[in-house]
Structure 1
Amino acid sequence: MKAMRNLALEAWMREHGYSANALAEAVNQAVDRLRGRPGSHDGASVRAWKSGRIRWPHAVTRLALEEVTGLPITDLGFVPRGRVAPAPAASEQEESDMKRRTLVGGIAAVAAAAAPGSSTRRIGMGDVHRLQHRFAEIIASDHRHGGQLGIEQKAAALADEALNLQNSGSASQRVRANLYASAAAFRSSAMWAAIDGGRYDIAKAHMREAQALAEMSGDQAIKFRIWSHTGTMYRHLGRPADALAANDVARSLHITRRDPLFASLGLARQGAIYGTAQNRTGARRAFDQAQESMGRATADAERPMWLLAFYDQAELDSLALSAYLALGDYPTAERHGHRCLSALRPHMARSRAITTTRLAHAQLAQGETEAAVSVAMKVQVPAAVHHPRVSRMLGEFGATLRAIAPGSPTVQTWTEHTAAWRTAT
């Protein structure tokens, strides 16, 4: 069957003056911003999109295209797998479609407030992709700042918007399932922001709603994310038995057997929980298995953007650092800390602050006071002051330092450095 040309993408490229090579370069740069390494697209890739040979690119490519163009991926003429592409339209119809998209975008907020059944609007995957594009901004903000109430509130508001959209018109079962999955993803991000900020009672409320939404969606990936977050929450609460039980639910989902990267994340978080439980053998075994699973994962598999945005070798080492620090194996913790920092993607400011602080703790526990202070002073002021977990860990670092080396020049240096935070904010 002959492929149908992507007229929408061709029209966008003509309007904005992009050649195939120029668009490929822009997409590669956007991929770099999303995952920390450039894409590998070239002019031939773009020509494959235009010709219709590739109708639905991989997830990270779709996000990059949306970033470059500012349009939802379906508005660029791409068609999700399993759907039939519409027949080429006449120029008059193309103009009408463009006006329709503009109108729909303008009334989205009004439609979301409509009562059930009061609108004849047809909700489609384009609406879902528009929500997911805004979700990508929340994920990026979380990686920069983390734990902030504003991030939690924005994610929760997006979840509510997705649910309101369910009642704003008619939709296929597939679209409704995707809206529930999106609402569950947004709510789980609100849950994560609350966990990261130490607001655990609120996190539990988000968790319950996210779990219910995930069940309605039937989406395995988001079920994994929510139960994995739940395990992390209980780990931070010092309840390793509950943490293991929740993480086991995530690891029992068939997505972990289908995709080794999900299996790797589940095992790495299990290793972190074993660290809290003081199970040295279990932690070592879990991290070895997580590393093996990561080695089997293929880079081109279809995966959700939230997973692509953070889970890599650096995150695995970060979890190992946390576990071995809890176990009191400070040299191993320090080794993982250095490995994590060397591999962290530039945009992961929150993770860099947490890892740097933990690394300083590992060095201090080995009596390396000067090196530890030097490392701790690299934590950026916004994280040191405003991120609850980083702020708490740095406070504990200072207390331990003063106990180990009271009245020393190193303590004086640290005291002066932390005093400067108050004037910098």
Structure 2
Amino acid sequence: MYRRAFLTAATAAGASLTMPSAAQRRLGSGDVDRMNAKLAAVVSMDNKYGGTPELQQHAASLAEETIRLQNTHTASSRIRSELYGVAAAFTASAMWAAIDGRRLDEAEPYLNQAVTLAGLANNRAVLYRIWGHASIMYRHLGRPADAVAASEAARATSIVRSDPLYASLALARLATYHADAGDERGALRAIGLAQASYDRADKTKHRPPWMGFYDQAELDSLAVFAHLRLGRWEDAERHAHRCLAGLRPDLERNRALTYANLALAQLGQGDLELAVASARNVPADAARGRVGVLLKDFTSKISAVAPRSSETIAWLEHRRAAA
């Protein structure tokens, strides 16, 4: 059912955004707008469904379509640069879908292509996004030094110096890497700096559609991850509740992530009943990729802490029914 829903959405998004005729030999701003509209649709589907194989393939095919468009038409250098930027963004979306779905062996090959396309576009915003995704990929691959290096590469892009919102996201992600290393002081400092940068940012400024997910709720979500890694359960729960209170309705995957993390924070405090109630708020069709990993972790921990409790038994029955 999910696959049908996704394919219907993808088809609807593309049906009204067809490529220009091959007879048209010179590309213009309208072509860039059409591909950017497709990119916005990809971002919207990611917000709703998360990193599915279908979304990964769809984004990769749109990157190929954008490159093919370049090679079969003429264009000014400005238009070519913009289209290379869109192709890089599609490739980054495919990369992110693979990361979010924990298909890490499929994610890494996209990195070189995305960096190359962003370089051809001279697009600092897309390059920032690519290195940010790479840092998360390396973290999940168990390569902490590479994760920090990629995070620093994102922070070194010029857009971070000109826009505090990008600086805030980079710092919030860096906090999770410090937490992974057990560096509580570094993690808390990064969270504080991320909040300060976010407060300085102009929220009305026009930014690419893939940056639309980052708001106060996402900053709180990243803080949850950091506090969980540090075993700061009460702080993790506080940020999770604040995230849920401010989370936009369309960010369904992020809501599932936050409920899974909230359950872990409550379990860490010994609140089994609340923890199971939070975990049950994760829809069955969202329990995949990163969300699925968190729920598996929750199941292992509650089974170890209280294997014979009524809450654990109820949770295990819920998991079996949802399988």
Q: Report the TM-score, using the length of structure 2 for normalisation.
A: 0.92
Choose from 131, 138, 142 the match for 1:238: 142
Separation in structure 1 between the aligned mates of residue 87 and residue 225 of structure 2, nearest angstrom: 31
Deviation at 1:120, TM superposition (A): 6.1
The equivalent residue for 1:149 is 53
Q: Does 1:406 align with 2:310?
A: no
Deviation at 1:419, TM superposition (A): 2.0
The structure with the larger Rg is: 1
Q: Could you tell which deviates more after superposition, 233-242 or 256-265?
A: 233-242
The equivalent residue for 2:37 is 133
The equivalent residue for 2:190 is 286
Deviation at 1:299, TM superposition (A): 2.1
Q: How is 1:273-422 mapped onto 2 (pairs within 5 angstroms)? A: 273-308=177-212, 310-384=213-287, 387-422=288-323
Separation in structure 1 between the aligned mates of residue 164 and residue 145 of structure 2, nearest angstrom: 25
Choose from 110, 120, 129 the match for 1:225: 129
1:252-306 deviation digits (Å, cap 9, x = unpaired): 1111111111111111111111111111111111110110011111122231111
Q: Supply the RMSD in Å over aligned alpha carbons.
A: 1.7
Separation in structure 1 between the aligned mates of residue 142 and residue 185 of structure 2, nearest angstrom: 19
Contact 1:180–1:217 (8 Å) recurs in 2: yes
1:221-260 deviation digits (Å, cap 9, x = unpaired): 0010001111111122232221111011110111111111
Deviation at 1:388, TM superposition (A): 2.1
Contact 1:240–1:274 (8 Å) recurs in 2: no
Separation in structure 2 between the aligned mates of residue 201 and residue 375 of structure 1, nearest angstrom: 31
Q: Report the TM-score, using the length of structure 1 for normalisation.
A: 0.71
Classify the secondary structure of the residue corresponding to 2:308: coil
Separation in structure 1 between the aligned mates of residue 304 and residue 104 of structure 2, nearest angstrom: 30
Separation in structure 1 between the aligned mates of residue 269 and residue 275 of structure 2, nearest angstrom: 9
Separation in structure 1 between the aligned mates of residue 105 and residue 299 of structure 2, nearest angstrom: 28
Separation in structure 2 between the aligned mates of residue 211 and residue 183 of structure 1, nearest angstrom: 11
The equivalent residue for 2:85 is 181
Contact 1:191–1:207 (8 Å) recurs in 2: yes
The equivalent residue for 2:6 is none
Classify the secondary structure of the residue corresponding to 2:250: coil
Separation in structure 2 between the aligned mates of residue 280 and residue 381 of structure 1, nearest angstrom: 34
The answer for unaligned runs of 5 or more in structure 2 is 1-12
Separation in structure 2 between the aligned mates of residue 411 and residue 253 of structure 1, nearest angstrom: 47
Contact 1:324–1:332 (8 Å) recurs in 2: yes
Classify the secondary structure of the residue corresponding to 1:287: helix
The equivalent residue for 1:97 is none
Q: Percent identity?
A: 47
Contact 1:353–1:380 (8 Å) recurs in 2: yes
Could you tell me which amino acid in structure 2 is paired with residue 281 of structure 1?
R
Deviation at 1:150, TM superposition (A): 0.3
The answer for unaligned runs of 5 or more in structure 1 is 1-66, 73-104, 112-118
Q: Which has the higher helix share?
A: 2
